[in-house]
Amino acid sequence: MWSRRSSKYRTMPHGRCLVCDHDLGGSRYPGLLQCSACGFITADADLSNDDLAALYSEKYFSGEEYSDYVADKHTIQRNFRNRIKVLLRYVAEPGSKRLFEIGSAYGFFLDVARQSFKEVAGIDISSAAAAHARSSLGLRVSEGDFLNHDLNGQVDVACMWDTIEHLAHPDRYIEKLAAHMPPRAKIAITTGDIGSWLARRRGPKWRQIHPPTHLHYFTRGTLERLLNRYGFTVRYCGYDGAYRSMDMMASILLKVRRKREPLYNMLKKTGLLSLDVKLNLFDIIYLIAEKQPHTTP
């Protein structure tokens, strides 16, 4: 079930699993490959940095994936406050710690996190998003590929919120983080769980399946195995749900997917779309893992 922009990214169905290095083969999901050993599922695609940069242009945040990401800041930060509340249970003395976010977008999480941590910084492939984080919020957010980024020291806490599924090589990201994190450092990740009841029930129609923006599909088991490979042990696993603005949901459903903008405009006039609702379909996993001592990535 490839998106309208996916045809240029198709490749031959072959390769190795980034979780366990076994062969990839066919799956029940059109356009996706599955590991014959651990069951990890990934898109039949190979994207360059230029391809990724093109996908995550300013339009991605204002019309393609989100109706208006910046306008939804209040709801987005409401979710980030809940996530950081959980994260802080596992971080001792955060006021002395350095936090780094991969996929920091417009800086809304870092804006919240700097209230608790000594230092926060991030990186995003979107030039527009990184520029907004720097100019509007005064944050240290770089534009580019994390694999080529100089971390300039160790990282005590690393976050990837709904990001790991977008990365061309998430295993290399975990490997690099592990090499720059001291023992007991934490990594926090949220991503869709293709092993959840809803994902299995929906099959190829599960809402999280939309390559080429979503390239990788983890279960708790495959994500934990990837983290274990680089010296991390899972300390928390939850399905916490998230607030969604009615305006954002209606815009995506009616304007973007069904092209029914007049109906969206009519609903907006009623004022109902100004509300937030908390949804938990138990298919978005939240993992916090700890770097173990005496491990070599």
Q: How many CB atoms lie within 10 A of CB 284?
A: 20
Domain identity same for 144 and 270: no
Question: What is residue 208's DSSP assignment?
Answer: T
pLDDT at position 4 is 33
Distance CA 91, CA 17 (A): 32
**CA dihedral sign, ordered 173, 283, 69, 100:** negative
Domain identity same for 102 and 170: yes
Q: Is the residue at 196 inside a domain?
A: yes
Nearest to 41, CA basis, from 51, 53, 31, 50:
31
pLDDT at position 44 is 86
Domain identity same for 61 and 159: yes
Tell me whether residue 89 is exposed, middle or buried, using C-beta atoms within 10 angstroms of its C-beta: 0 to 12, 13 to 18, 19 or more: exposed
Domain identity same for 150 and 164: yes
Domain identity same for 160 and 266: no
Distance CA 140, CA 137 (A): 9
CATH number at residue 115: 3.40.50.150
Is 105:66 a contact under the CB 8 Å cutoff? no
State the 10-residue block means of pLDDT for the chain, 297 residues long.
37 73 93 95 85 81 76 93 98 98 97 98 95 97 95 96 95 97 98 98 95 95 98 97 85 77 82 85 98 73
Domain identity same for 221 and 256: no
pLDDT at position 246 is 84
Beta-bridge partner residues of 16: 23
Domain identity same for 72 and 191: yes
Q: Is the residue at 215 inside a domain?
A: yes
pLDDT at position 156 is 98
Domain identity same for 269 and 213: no
Place of tokens 């954002």: 248
Q: Is the residue at 217 inside a domain?
A: yes
Instruction: Give the helix ranges, DSSP H, for the chain.
Output: 49-55, 73-87, 108-113, 127-137, 170-179, 197-202, 220-229, 246-250, 261-270
Q: Is the residue at 1 inside a domain?
A: no
Q: Is the residue at 3 inside a domain?
A: no
Domain identity same for 221 and 258: no
Question: Which phi and psi (to 5°) does residue 137 adopt?
Answer: -115, -5
Stated pTM of the model: 0.88
Q: Is the residue at 163 inside a domain?
A: yes
Distance CA 165, CA 212 (A): 10
Q: Which domain holds residue 256?
A: 244-279
Total count of domains within the chain: 2
pLDDT at position 243 is 92
Domain identity same for 273 and 223: no
CA dihedral 85, 159, 291, 197 (to 10 degrees): 80
Domain identity same for 205 and 59: yes
pLDDT at position 67 is 67
Domain identity same for 192 and 250: no
Q: Is the residue at 8 inside a domain?
A: no
Q: Is the residue at 42 inside a domain?
A: no
> CA dist 154 to 114, 119, 290, 291, 293, Å?
17, 12, 15, 12, 15
